[in-house]
Amino acid sequence: MRYGMAIDTKKCVGCSDCVVACQTENNIEHGYARDWITETVNGIYPSMELEFRSERCNHCANTPCVRTCPTGASHIIEGGIVKVTHDECIGCGSCIQSCPYDARYTHSEGYVDKCTFCDHRVANGQDPACVSVCPTYCMYFGDLDDKNSEVSKIVATRKWKVLAPEAGTKPQIFYLT
């Protein structure tokens, strides 16, 4: 079981509903964001191209953050979801230094926090909050190991890219281009 996401950049309008939904669902402190929208503009007027991406922790298959954690607070649960055990985290910041996507941040209470793929919702068979509220339905979440899941079919049939593949992390969020 390997959870992952496919995000259709052709349909994303950059509305940031996913950002607000995540902050609401997970009671995130004011001033912090576990996911964000990146806008890429290419070209010179009038030949320009625009892309929006909703980014978050990629729950990589070759996680540098889990590897470098000295206490084991950063760990991987069923489905490849990367989580942090708050009481084991010492706040050293190694995982933050290891993440090429800047997905992690230090919570004001001292431990390190990040996107959890809403594992509390996933355990109940629901999608993460961001996926559920997207108004253009451009986000897909599911089991990449299951050939029949929507995500697997989309990743198999559409062109996609991942962020910073050269960092060697094997991210599991696929941006459909």
Partner 1 sequence: MREELIISGRMNLNIDPVLHVWHWQIPLYLFLGGLAAGVLFFAALYFIKNESEKYSTAVKVAPIIAPFAIVIGLIALLLDLKHPLYFWQLYTTIRLESPMSWGAWVLMLIMPLSIIWVATYLKEVFPKIELQNGYFAKLFSFILKPVENNEVNWGWKFKWLSDFEILMIEYRKPLAWAILISSVILGVYTGILLSAFNARPLWNNAILGPLFLVSGLSTGAASIMWLSKSHEEQKLFSQIDILLITVELFFIIHLFMGFLAGPQVQIEAASLFWGGEFTIYFGLFVVVLGLIMPGIFEIMELKGYRVHRAIPAILIIFGGLLFRFVMVEAGQITRYLY
165-168 CB contacts, 8 Å cutoff, 24+ apart = 167/64, 167/100, 168/62, 168/64
Residue 9 interacts with partner 1 (CB under 8 A): yes or no? no
User: Which residue lies nearer to partner 1 by CB, 126 or 135?
Assistant: 135
Residue 77 interacts with partner 1 (CB under 8 A): yes or no? no
Q: Which of residues 42-71 bind partner 1 (CB under 8 A)?
A: 42-44, 64, 67-71
Residue 135 interacts with partner 1 (CB under 8 A): yes or no? no
CA dihedral 119, 121, 122, 123 (to 10 degrees): 90
User: Which residue lies nearer to partner 1 by CB, 122 or 131?
Assistant: 131
Residue 63 has which token pair? 């996680």
Number of other CB atoms surrounding residue 111 within 10 Å: 16
Number of other CB atoms surrounding residue 113 within 10 Å: 21
Binding stretches for partner 1 (CB under 8 A): 14, 16, 19, 31-33, 36-44, 64, 67-73, 87-94, 96-102, 104-106, 109-112, 163-164, 166-169
